[in-house]
Structure 1
Amino acid sequence: MNMNLERKEGCKESPIVVASRGEEGVEPAPMQVTPKPTRSPVPGWLARSLGLALIGAEVLWGAGEGGSLLRAEDGVRTAGGTSGISYRNEKNAEKPLSVHIVKVERNRPDLVLTTTLAKGTVLDLSPLSEQMKGQATSNARPVVGINGDFYRTEQEPFAGDPLGFQVMEGELISSPHANHPSFWTDAKGAPHVGVVTNRFQATLPGGVVIPFEINEERLRGTARVYTPRLGASTRSSGEGKELVLERDGTGEWLPIKPCHTYTARIREIRTEPNTKLTPDTLVLSVEGALAAGLEKVHPGETLTLAFPTEPQTLGCETAIGGGPTLLRNGQTPDYKARDERHPRSAFGWNDTHWFFVEVDGRQSNLSIGMKLPELSEYLAKLGVKEAINLDGGGSATLWLYGQVVNSPCYGYERNTANGLVILRKETPRREPD
């Protein structure tokens, strides 16, 4: 897995956008704010093509896409109005440290929190900025994004597979991880952070019960359910059986949702691995000794697939894995962490705002990164009540209005598996009477 929050790879040193001033009336974080203009961390061609050059500019709290984001004399053009989104970059030249914070008002019905998935499939990777482009629709567009969960890298089998829980617009993408916390929203849209445990199981004809995970690599002695979100095929190998499943009558079917139960009809039983996936089928893939339980199962019969979790996540629209939990009710939980500084990404909230936070690191001329306990303390002083750590290191990326605003430690965006994004819903235009 790409557990690069613990890795020590060397990174190219890269300049950063300027520091900013704190919002009036808001207690500043315990870091000196130094408004010293420097260059943007993204290539010039990218900044020019996006039309949002944060070069030699001072970015302020309390503004955003629709406010006075930058000083008029900086010559940076933005729209008017109030956006519900604010940004600042805090710097401490002595450590040195550079931290990027985006605050988003939670009560805005036009600002929707959801997750991304690289190229729309589990087994793929792409830069966060590419994932943001894929979020644009006719009535919504991405405005804020941050990289998400740890994942399997290009050098590993099942590259792109997120480590933990993911739900995207209500669709179950990836199983929760038993030892890593997740962020998720409940049926009322309330946010939560903590460990989610799956209790997924298939009940075969005759009553045999097989536990499984969803869209994970099939290992020795395990069972998996694969959805069309995985990719073109199951990517399984070795001995086993794969049951191609279709909808039974008019019962509930795809997409799979957490805490729902489905009845499926067995279309085909295959002994060859790597079964093709289609938009209207699932595959129950069983390896080794577990496959012996399928000897009395035949095409045309039905089975049930249940997707319960603990705690219950029925009605969840958005979830993403990470870890550790950085804050609970404003306090730092007891977690184990190596005494190392790295680039960090974190997501948190209080009663009024979402917080997207990125700490640059591994760049001695700009920012040395943070230890996890330091990040917890920093978030608490920002006013965050609940927070989760996301994948860091070379993956740490914060995107705002079409531009990467932080300084990725490699000097470029790394391919990642998923992310968290704020979409702005567009108000439909009324046709003239």
Structure 2
Amino acid sequence: MSTVSEQVKRLAPELGKPVAAINGDFYNKQEGYPGDPRDLQICRGELVSSPTGHTCFWVDTAGNPRMTNIVSRFRVIWPDGTATPFGLNEERPNDGAVLYTSFVGPSTHTSGGVEFVLESTTNSAWLPLRAGQIYVARVREVQRSGDAPLGANSLVLSIGPKLASHLPKVEQRAVLRIATETLPDLTGVNAAIGGGPTLVRDGRAKEWHGFQMRHPRVALGWNKDFIFMVEVDGRQSNLSVGMSFSELATYMIKLGCEQALNLDGGGSATLWVCGNVMNSPSEGHERPGANALVLVQRKDDAKSTSESRNLANRSEPLATDRQPAEH
């Protein structure tokens, strides 16, 4: 986990000049996998976190910003043809399965269960892990002690002890298929981030019943001409008490947004512009988070980022605190 400012500093120079950033998705704060995004994350085309059904922001292959609920169809297909759903880079439940990549670190941080260390088969597509694919993988090793090591070119499929007894027997060198399909299909998508709830859809604010408390808020909105990154300070009586979801939705419409969604707020709420944090964080300092949405200006861009109609030409939306393990 790291702050928005720290995540911006880590962006590769070849991506362009960062001009604005906001914090991203809600995340796990518990021990084991702190900083695990609640929902989907795709960073430069690579899957980092699996969707869980909440509202997500993504950029389609034509460069258009999109907002919808994403449903996971991630599954492993065993040699006998049966299939088991899995999560990605998250805490593994005793009765579930999780696929790990090097984004989670040098090992899976698990205990017990069964772990299959997977490698590529000849002439098959392999890493980085992308959405909408079916990967053919060979079991290089079977471990039963947990905490299997992760390499830059390997995957580990971890099976919880309660689930393991109900699955077909799999030996070393068995071939598995790993499906990363989603609904809707995200094949070819370069950037996606979780959030929610939806604030504005097709120019109309969502109706709210309850959830009227005011807090610091962060929202992302857009219309056919502009993208809006909005932060609202709160929990500071001498400055601002924040906004409710209803108030935030109304404000996004006032700005001209046709679509808008909420992102993580509260103590996480951060707006960074051209090297400076522009807001007053409610805890008095930036809070580390899981990921961030960063807009960059590329060297071949002649106009300001705010003048772009094509978000994909100007954005590197998904900085992430998770970094591939060093090997």
User: What does residue 38 of structure 1 align with?
Assistant: none
1:212 aligns with 2:75: no
* Structure 2 CA distance for partners of 1:143 and 1:262, relative to 1, 3 Å: same
Displacement, 1:292?
2.5
Displacement, 1:297?
1.3
| Residue 265 of structure 1, aligned match among 138, 146, 157 | 138
Output the amino acid matched with 2:119: E
User: What does residue 159 of structure 1 align with?
Assistant: 34
| Residue 140 of structure 1, aligned match among 13, 16, 30 | 16
In the alignment, structure 1 segments of 5+ residues that lack a partner are 1-124, 429-433
User: Are the aligned partners of 2:94 and 2:163 in contact in 1 as well (CA < 8 Å)?
Assistant: no
Alignment of 1:31-430 (within 5 A): 125-138=1-14, 140-153=16-29, 155-178=30-53, 180-237=54-111, 239-293=112-166, 296-335=169-208, 337-427=210-300
Which structure's CA Rg is the greater one? 1
Give TM-score, length-normalised by structure 1.
0.67
User: What does residue 64 of structure 1 align with?
Assistant: none
Displacement, 1:172?
0.8
Please state whether the residue corresponding to 1:308 is helix, strand or coil: strand
Q: What are the Cα deviations for residues 239-293 of structure 1, in whole angstroms up to 9, with x where unaligned? A: 3100000111121111111111100011000001111111000001011232135
Moved over 2 A (4+): 292-296, 333-337
Distance in 2 (CA, whole Å) between partners of 1:273 and 1:148 is 31
* Count of matched residue pairs: 301
Distance in 2 (CA, whole Å) between partners of 1:388 and 1:157 is 29
* Structure 2 CA distance for partners of 1:337 and 1:281, relative to 1, 3 Å: farther
* Structure 2 CA distance for partners of 1:392 and 1:299, relative to 1, 3 Å: same
Please state whether the residue corresponding to 2:164 is helix, strand or coil: helix
Distance in 2 (CA, whole Å) between partners of 1:390 and 1:220 is 30
Distance in 1 (CA, whole Å) between partners of 2:209 and 2:135 is 39
The structure carrying a bigger strand percent of its residues is 2
Displacement, 1:334?
3.8
Displacement, 1:410?
1.2
Distance in 1 (CA, whole Å) between partners of 2:166 and 2:236 is 55
Displacement, 1:336?
5.1
Distance in 2 (CA, whole Å) between partners of 1:216 and 1:242 is 14
Q: Between the two proteins, what is the percent identity of the paired residues?
A: 46
* Structure 2 CA distance for partners of 1:139 and 1:168, relative to 1, 3 Å: closer
Give TM-score, length-normalised by structure 2.
0.89
Q: What are the Cα deviations for residues 24-79 of structure 1, in whole angstroms up to 9, with x where unaligned? A: xxxxxxxxxxxxxxxxxxxxxxxxxxxxxxxxxxxxxxxxxxxxxxxxxxxxxxxx
* Structure 2 CA distance for partners of 1:211 and 1:139, relative to 1, 3 Å: closer
* Structure 2 CA distance for partners of 1:335 and 1:251, relative to 1, 3 Å: farther
Output the amino acid matched with 1:185: V
User: Are the aligned partners of 2:206 and 2:249 in contact in 1 as well (CA < 8 Å)?
Assistant: no
